[in-house]
Structure 1
Amino acid sequence: MSEFIKIYEENPSEATIKKVVNVLKNGGLVIYPTDTVYGLGCDITNSRALERLAKLKGIKLEKANFSFVCSSLSNLSDYVKQIDTPTFKILKRALPGPYTFILPGNNDLPKEFRKKKTVGIRVPNNTIVRQIVEQLGNPIVSSSIHDEDEVIEYSTDPELIFEKWQNKVDVVIDGGYGENIPSTIIDLTGNEPEVIREGKGDVNVI
């Protein structure tokens, strides 16, 4: 049975954030608010948690297109190859914000993702999740809780999310109502930026 924890975005309680971080460090799965739909994630460095996450989503871990939630752009160099100035300018302009940027992965990716040439990076404009990632000290591997094809009513209401997921995850954070529009996905690995999915983020940012 998972815990249902209320955290206020304008003033997240440090003790509560710490509690969530401990769950992540111990291999737990957490559902948390972002600036778009609620996310489902785990500690990027915990192999057992990654396996659990993939199983829950019904996919093979090496095939999964999870995104990495970072607290700021300073985490990028951990997992992303050196990026050029124009690319960095786009990131700086857009983040924190409702975007997932696909970037070239480097050789320091956790072993589960080593075969991947690219990674999806998120820096959500949401204090709760950014503080969790900051205290954890490394990114959260993340997937949204809705089915890719549809965002259902329950996925915006934390209480309904808890009802549906309480036996599958360790913590559900109530950070208020979520959005039902996913992030905009932009691929920055080619010669020109390419919009893969138009979501909440304005595509004019590129």
Structure 2
Amino acid sequence: MAQFFSVHPQNPQARLLKQAAQLLHNGGLVAVPTDSGYAVLAQLDNKTAADALRRLRGIDDRHHLTVLCRDLAEIAVMARVDNRQYRLLKAATPGPWTFILEATREVPRRLSHPSRKTIGIRVPDYPITLELLEIMGTPVISTTLIPAGETEPLSDAEAIRERYEHELAAVIDGGACAVLPTTVIDLTGDEPELIRRGRGDPALLGIAG
């Protein structure tokens, strides 16, 4: 059964997040509130955990998983970023955005798109998620917790635990969080391309919505 950690949304208890981080290090999946609904996290370089993440969401290897990073410096390790892309990332980070970028060799090949070699990447603007990433000391892979066949992300920790108690190692409850997924923008072309409109307003970045 999934462990359940109730933490303060603005000042999360480090001892509880350390327990959640250990479960991630051990290959478990952890549901975490973010600035755009709940996400499920897994260790970056653990193939078994990545496969379990895809099964839970009902997605295949053509669906971009997202690499969650602490800051722009970590993004630069995970993705190839030119000056134009960097300026946009700096304006949008942290926040409810996922950017499609060309993956570097630091990203396991199985996590990038099989034909395009791209990866989704973002820095969340949420104290619980950022503190957990700090404790992990490394980026993690994630996907918005949208049940297979549905369109809206889950936002209630108790309901998530009940629904996925055998698939998840833990659920972190930080109270109510946003229910809109991230806005997804592809930066691999000559101009930014809006892929999915979510919580982030593309107009704030000068992108037509």
TM-score by length of 2: 0.90
Correspondence 1:80-159 to 2 at 5 A: 80-81=79-80, 83-113=81-111, 115=114, 116-147=116-147, 149-151=150-152, 155-159=154-158
1:151 alignment partner AA? E
In structure 2, distance between residues paired with 1:64 and 1:101: 14
Q: Which runs of 5+ in 2 are unaligned?
A: none
Calculate the aligned-residue CA RMSD, in Å.
1.6
* CA–CA separation in structure 1 for the residues paired with 2:33 and 2:196: 20
Structure 1 residue 150 displacement after superposition: 1.9
8 Å contact from structure 2 (residues 33, 155) kept in 1: no
Give, in angstroms, the shift of residue 149 of structure 1: 4.7
Partner of 1:71: 70
Aligned length: 202
Mapped partners of 1:160, 1:194: distance in 2 = 35
User: Cα distance, 1:78 vs. partner?
Assistant: 2.0
- 1:87 and 1:65 map into 2 onto residues whose CA distance is 19
Distance in 1, Cα, partners of 2:168 & 2:136:
18
State the alpha-carbon separation in 1 of the partners of residues 175 and 71 from structure 2: 22
Structure 1 residues 55-109: Cα deviation after superposition (integer angstroms, max 9, x where no partner): 222334x33411111111111122211x222211111111110000111112221
1:184 maps onto 2:190 in alignment: no
* Correspondence for 1:14: 14
The aligned counterpart of 1:195 is 194
SS at match of 1:131: helix
Which amino acid in the other structure matches residue 187 of structure 2?
L
Name the CA distance, whole Å, in 1 between partners of 2:101 and 2:7: 31
Aligned to 2:5: 5
Structure 1 residue 30 displacement after superposition: 0.3
Q: 141-150 or 157-166: which moved more?
A: 141-150
TM-score w.r.t. length of structure 1: 0.91
Q: Secondary structure at the match of 2:179?
A: coil
Aligned partner of residue 11 in structure 2, secondary structure: coil
1:29 is matched with 29
Cα distance change on mapping 1:111 and 1:188 into 2, 3 Å: closer
CA distance in 1, matches of 2:91, 2:59: 33
**Distance in 2 (alpha carbons) for counterparts of 1:6 and 1:78:** 32
What is the letter of the counterpart of residue 123 of structure 1? V
2-side partners of 1:4 and 1:50: how far apart?
21
- Whether the aligned pair in 1 keeps the contact of 2:155 and 2:179 (CA below 8 Å) is yes
Structure 1: give runs of 5+ residues left out of the alignment.
Answer: none
Paired residue type of 2:123: V
Q: Distance in 2 between matches of 1:187 and 1:139?
A: 20
- Percent of residue pairs bearing the same amino acid type: 35
Aligned to 1:156, the other structure's residue is in SS state coil
